[in-house]
A and B are shown apart, each in its own frame.
Chain A
């Protein structure tokens, strides 16, 4: 069974920089896995941030960026704003089927 792994939690100061990562149990993540990133705040549906590794939706703030880093997909926030406190999920595709990571709870303190 394929497992996608994210950091369970991260803490960052306002104005700082933080990188969330997304690893695959099958090996290095490449663009072929079509990494997507989502933000979810309490009581709300998820909101799409990044698709195709690094492409932003029209509503994605410029401070969010997606990349591949050290064999993983990565989401970098810089500078972090208080309103960025949320759960973040990545998704990878395996032969047409999507698999979400367990999510990262980002705290802005």
Chain B
């Protein structure tokens, strides 16, 4: 059974940093494209970014609102996906979902940016 479990969310002040993790199991993580999607409270879905498998170059694409502040990375030896979030803004407050390139989804982890 495919499972992705997010962790690392919490309360952080504007301008602060946070790293989210996503532990994956039940599939060959090394071959998988992975993505992050977020959802602000009461709002719609927002695509955050995606990372290809290492065999396909391991390159990343980040959405414009987070480019230069957020970085997606992966550790295939640990079957783990990461989202490093720097220079956080109030508008980054959201539930962050880890997905197997939008097919299988985790339950999400809440990030709250507030002073």
Contact = CB atoms under 8 A, between A and B. Distances in A.
A36 interface: yes
Nearest to B4: A45
Interface stretch (B17-25, B81-89, B100-108): B100-108
Nearest to B46: A100
> Chain B interface secondary structure, helix, strand, loop or mixed?
strand
Interface residues of B, number: 20
B47 A38 contact: no
> Chain A interface secondary structure, helix, strand, loop or mixed?
strand
A48 B63 contact: no
A98 B47 contact: yes
A14 interface: no
B90 interface: no
Chain A to chain B: the 6 pairs with minimum beta-carbon distance, closest first: A98-B47, A45-B105, A103-B44, A100-B45, A96-B61, A48-B103
